[in-house]
Chains A and B, each alone.
Chain A
Amino acid sequence: MHGEYKTPGGKLVVVDFDVVDGRFKNMVISGDFFLYPEEELAPLTNALEGVDIELDDESFTERIRMDLHPETELMGTSPEGIVIAVRRALAGDEA
């Protein structure tokens, strides 16, 4: 599944994943956002791996937020923006 969301005035975030037994698998997060340090892409990407797709937006957002180091700078997108892209993917909206 594939979903995109561009934060107005910010950057594009793209999510690609599979759903296996009602859970996120093979999550890939990409886009033209900025992330410091770059090594934080792995925890960002792993945050939703294996998570139940039936959870609500706040739960998804919280998972992403929890997995990022407090000093990580994510610019141009946000945990909320990533969740919008995930929702769009789940809804089959390829926009």
Chain B
Amino acid sequence: MAESKPITKNVDWMVVLIYIACLMIGWLNIYAAVYNPETQTSMFDLSNNAGKQLMWIGTAALLIICILVIDYKFYETFSFVIYAVVIFLLVVVLFAGSNINGSRSWIKLGGISLQPAEFSKLAVSLAISKYLSDPAISLNRKLKDYYPIMGILALPAFLILLSNETGSMLVFASFAIVLYREGMPGFIPAIGIIGAALLIITLLFVKWYIAGAIIVIAGLVIWLMPVMTRRRGGLWATIIVAFAMIGIVFGVDFFMNNVLQKHQRGRIMVLLDPDSDPRGIGWNVIQSKIAIGSGGITGKGFLQGTQTKFDFVPEQSTDFIFCTVGEEHGFLGTAVVVFLFIALISRLVVLAERQRSRFARVYGYCVAGIIFFHFLVNVGMTIGLMPVIGIPLPFFSYGGSSLWSFSVLLFIFLKIDAQRPFTLSRG
């Protein structure tokens, strides 16, 4: 039987190597983040985060072995079951969860705390993949085919929102990449991106200038448009789009002041001008930028960071772990991390594209999209390009739940990919 071939032969070693590299770099930086020159502890000491992270890495390895051993069909077959279990856990956590940092999102089992929200990514990915594996589903023709997807996304999102973990909920935005690949019209993500861009531009510049610029650009577009396109309604489409954009620009004020909550507004304003609230919301951004900026080209050296020690940057070993890389290893270090992520995500996209089954491809895109969204928001937040949203940097940030969930997410895909030569295309 083909399936008796060792899994090691078919698994994608490039992804595995990047994964191991990320874990090791992350672990060393967690040690640097918690390192205290006065009371030095070993990086294997279980009393500090680095030691604990090593334990999480060890257990993640066990999980990976389990995943690779379990038959690949299991995941597709039990997709909805896994989804149901996670939804159940999300409900349970609302009532039985322990309160950590203001969000009731942790389940304590003995000495270990687990965050079901972390596993909701996996569950949603599997559920969406399973749903889209039906070849009859078409995302570019039938609107009613979107309804189940909306349901799959909305249920956990609502539960996560109730437990006050907005960051984890926003991750669901990453599924837009999957849906786009599977046929969602391009204008939907385009509208999202343009809307976000307009929001930020509006906050930075005078509204009338932006409106003027939009009209000028619209005029140019109409002028350069092929005559045929113009006649076929391109003229009116452009004019409507331009007016819609101007509407957004003037709606931003309303949106900022009446729709967003105060702390959310604060996070967006701080993104634009961190000094507006240097001791409050701006503190994290300023300290984070100081830490990264002070690293220079080559950094201060391993364990030589000063900003990331002594509690200047909050959440150093978890959400702001990238600061430690930036301060101690400089631009070279951060560039390596950025390259690792871009390489990993691109490789996952390539792997996803070579899948024969639609389930596998969709799931591959889900994995790539989730990792990409985490990378986009987490790194963007530390360098002041994104609002402060508390989500971890995959494989780097300290934390068992996140490490486990990313590892499981990734290696289920690797397992499926490893079986690719033996599966038949169904979609």
Tell me whether A and B are bound partners: no
